[in-house]
Amino acid sequence: MDDAQAHGRVDGRADGPTDGLTDGPADGRAHDWTDRRREEGSSRHRGLLRLPPLPRWVAEAVAVPAAAQVAVTPVLVLMAGQVTPVAVIANLLVAPAVAPATLLGFGAALVAPVWPDGARLLVIPAGYAVGWIITVARWAVNLPFATVPWPAGLPGLALLVLAVLVAIPILRRRAWRAVAVTVVAAALAAVLVIRPIAGPWPPKGWLMVMCDVGQGDGLIVAAGPGRAVVVDTGPDPAIMDKCLRRVGVDDVPLLVLTHAHADHVGGISGVLRNRRVGAVVVSPHRDGSEGGGRISTMLAGRRIPEWTASPGTRWRFGPSELTVVAPALDSGGSYGYGEGSEINNASVVLHVRWRSGSALLGGDLETEAQDDLLHRFPIRADILKTPHHGSNRQSPEFLGSLGARAALISVGAGNDYGHPAPSTLGLLRRLGLTVHRTDQSGDLAVVEGEDGMAVIPRGRDFSLRTVGDGHGGATDTGRTLAITHMRRPSAHKHNVGTQDRPRCHRT
Ligand SMILES: [Zn+2]
């Protein structure tokens, strides 16, 4: 140590200013000072960024979890196909709590059989230590880049070796290191600024998510942790699979296909991908439709039962109660002009009830079937899945009878059909509904809040298009501005009780 100090002094004198040395205390700091000043001088000379050296205790504290992470990363890549840079910070933060949690917990286990009260005293501080570890883990997992997807298996391992071989020369040269630090810092700053505005997905308390599947329908209805009822699959398997993964759905007890048009069933294999599907519900009026036949063959091959929807059938999954309200078995499914309209009008229509409100999922119903439904029995709903992507074939009486406050429209940007029709948007506004569109806002979530339900758009990535129908003028990046709050419905409208039958239910 003395030798090192002596060298420091000699070097300091030889290279330039020595004020720090002669005025400073004769201890290790003197060495650091002169050494740093010398290096700063040479950095200035080269015009390069020089980071201040880390204090020794910080370097040591970081080195241990970093070394542990380096050791386990190849195993994690082989097993899980991901890299977790955030683990270093998380391990650093939980390190002080690990020993107390382990030792106190172990002590409590030893003491408990002979002295339960003493064990209780030991468990309380152990609980705080464990609580800290859980808190850090929860916080860390939500950080940007908490986990970086990485190819799994041997290719992933090879890529990891390659990345290390590239990183080592970069980190060894000061100039390259400065560039690398600047790039990483800029990327982190960009993500940290964008992420908090974008918020987590799905939002807390979500009840239903309308996926942005382009031109088509794909809905996810909450059915408990990791589970959801899926209503239609959109046209593209990859898009539907991605939307379900974003929401964290790996179990689908029920898949409802409203009707066998490609924009509603084309993505079915995306729902089946790595997921258990309990049963598929289809419309009773789909005899001879080409898409329907293909789906039946596919489901039979996978031994997934296919059920025919009949009005009044009701299921309860987690927070959601679903009731089939259409098509009526006696309607014959033969109204509307042209084959397309006939199939649309035979859509399975679901009424979904939650503790805080309800929704009507109207498939692609057109005017005739909407009027038919209106005359069969009254339906009330807080949220309307606007039938047929907001086409102009809507019954004003039917839409008005629902008493809904928000309309969700699943529609592709720039579609050839002219959906949603300006006349329908005008009608919905006149009826007092706030309109939310997937082509403008991306995925839409219906959430249960403190005082009722709200609609939260996910936002289209890095787009600055206007959200909603111009009421709020909010942009995609201002998600919270686009929320439509809906007060809890009055008791007479949706009385929630086990004895209660929904008003849409046929008696
Ligand atoms: Zn459609």
pLDDT at 174: 83
pLDDT at 237: 94
| Interval between CA 262 and ligand 1 midpoint (Å) | 8
Q: Is 462 inside a domain boundary?
A: yes
| Interval between CA 216 and ligand 1 midpoint (Å) | 5
Residue 14's pLDDT band, with cuts at 50, 70 and 90, is very low
pLDDT at 111: 93
- 504 pLDDT higher than 50: no
Residues 465, 438: contact at Cβ < 8 Å?
Answer: no
**Whether residues 62 and 123 fall in one domain:** yes
pLDDT at 137: 84
For the segment 104-126, the average pLDDT, to the nearest whole number, is 92
Q: Which residues of 33-55 are buried (b: 16+ CB within 10 A; e: fewer)?
A: bbbebbeeeeeeeeeeeeeeeee
| Interval between CA 263 and ligand 1 midpoint (Å) | 5
| Interval between CA 486 and ligand 1 midpoint (Å) | 27
pLDDT at 65: 82
pLDDT at 419: 93
Residue 333's pLDDT band, with cuts at 50, 70 and 90, is low
How long a stretch of residues is the chain?
Answer: 507
| Interval between CA 251 and ligand 1 midpoint (Å) | 25
pLDDT at 197: 55
| Interval between CA 389 and ligand 1 midpoint (Å) | 6
**Whether residues 331 and 374 fall in one domain:** yes
| Interval between CA 393 and ligand 1 midpoint (Å) | 12
pLDDT in tens, 469-478: 333 333 333 3
| Interval between CA 340 and ligand 1 midpoint (Å) | 10
| Interval between CA 450 and ligand 1 midpoint (Å) | 34
List phi, psi (to 5°) of 374.
Answer: -60, -40
| Interval between CA 310 and ligand 1 midpoint (Å) | 21
Least confident window among 30-34, 99-103, 107-111: 30-34
pLDDT at 30: 41
**Whether residues 91 and 29 fall in one domain:** no
User: CA dihedral in degrees (369, 496, 310, 384; nearest 10)?
Assistant: 30
pLDDT at 501: 32
| Interval between CA 142 and ligand 1 midpoint (Å) | 36
| Interval between CA 364 and ligand 1 midpoint (Å) | 5
| Interval between CA 394 and ligand 1 midpoint (Å) | 14
**Whether residues 107 and 192 fall in one domain:** yes
Written as six digits, the tokens of 214 are 């382009």
pLDDT in tens, 134-191: 888 878 876 666 777 778 788 888 888 898 888 888 888 888 888 888 888 887 777 6
First to last CA, the chain: 91
**Whether residues 11 and 74 fall in one domain:** no
| Interval between CA 399 and ligand 1 midpoint (Å) | 18
| Interval between CA 320 and ligand 1 midpoint (Å) | 24
| Interval between CA 465 and ligand 1 midpoint (Å) | 24
**Whether residues 141 and 215 fall in one domain:** no
| Interval between CA 160 and ligand 1 midpoint (Å) | 45
The CATH number linked to 278 is 3.60.15.10
| Interval between CA 392 and ligand 1 midpoint (Å) | 13
Nearest to 201 by CA among 235, 242, 238: 242
Written as six digits, the tokens of 158 are 């090879």
Whether the model pTM is above 0.75 = no
For the segment 45-74, the average pLDDT, to the nearest whole number, is 74
How far CA 496 is from CA of 315, 354, 432, in Å, comes to 15, 9, 25
Q: Is 495 inside a domain boundary?
A: no
Q: Is 500 inside a domain boundary?
A: no
Residues 204, 302: contact at Cβ < 8 Å?
Answer: no
- 116 pLDDT higher than 60: yes
- 323 pLDDT higher than 60: yes
- 505 pLDDT higher than 70: no
| Interval between CA 223 and ligand 1 midpoint (Å) | 24
pLDDT at 48: 47
pLDDT in tens, 275-292: 999 999 999 887 656 677
pLDDT at 62: 82
Residues of the domain holding 328: 206-487
| Interval between CA 358 and ligand 1 midpoint (Å) | 22
- 486 pLDDT higher than 60: no
Domain total of the chain: 3
**Whether residues 330 and 474 fall in one domain:** yes
Distance CA(260)–CA(297), nearest Å, equals: 13
Mean pLDDT over all residues of the chain?
Answer: 78
Least confident window among 203-207, 314-318, 342-346, 479-483: 479-483
**Whether residues 354 and 415 fall in one domain:** yes
- 357 pLDDT higher than 80: yes
The continuous run of DSSP H or E covering 209 comes out as strand 206-210
- Put the strands of the sheet holding 306-308 in their side by side order: 306-308, 276-282, 251-256, 228-233, 218-222, 206-210, 444-449, 452-457, 484-487
Highest mean pLDDT among 44-53, 190-199, 431-440: 431-440
For the segment 188-201, the average pLDDT, to the nearest whole number, is 66
pLDDT in tens, 418-469: 999 999 999 999 999 999 999 989 999 999 877 789 999 987 643 323 223 3
pLDDT at 288: 59
Highest mean pLDDT among 27-36, 92-101, 285-294: 92-101
Q: Is 501 inside a domain boundary?
A: no
Q: Is 498 inside a domain boundary?
A: no
**Whether residues 11 and 91 fall in one domain:** no
pLDDT at 336: 59
**Whether residues 192 and 234 fall in one domain:** no
| Interval between CA 297 and ligand 1 midpoint (Å) | 22
| Interval between CA 116 and ligand 1 midpoint (Å) | 65
| Interval between CA 397 and ligand 1 midpoint (Å) | 22
| Interval between CA 379 and ligand 1 midpoint (Å) | 22
**Whether residues 245 and 350 fall in one domain:** yes
Q: Is 154 inside a domain boundary?
A: yes
| Interval between CA 352 and ligand 1 midpoint (Å) | 20
Least confident window among 6-20, 202-216, 280-294, 465-479: 465-479
| Interval between CA 267 and ligand 1 midpoint (Å) | 13
- 208 pLDDT higher than 60: yes
| Interval between CA 265 and ligand 1 midpoint (Å) | 9
| Interval between CA 50 and ligand 1 midpoint (Å) | 60
pLDDT at 461: 46
**Whether residues 113 and 246 fall in one domain:** no
DSSP labels, 395-409: -HHHHHHT--SEEEE
Q: Is 400 inside a domain boundary?
A: yes
Q: Is 494 inside a domain boundary?
A: no
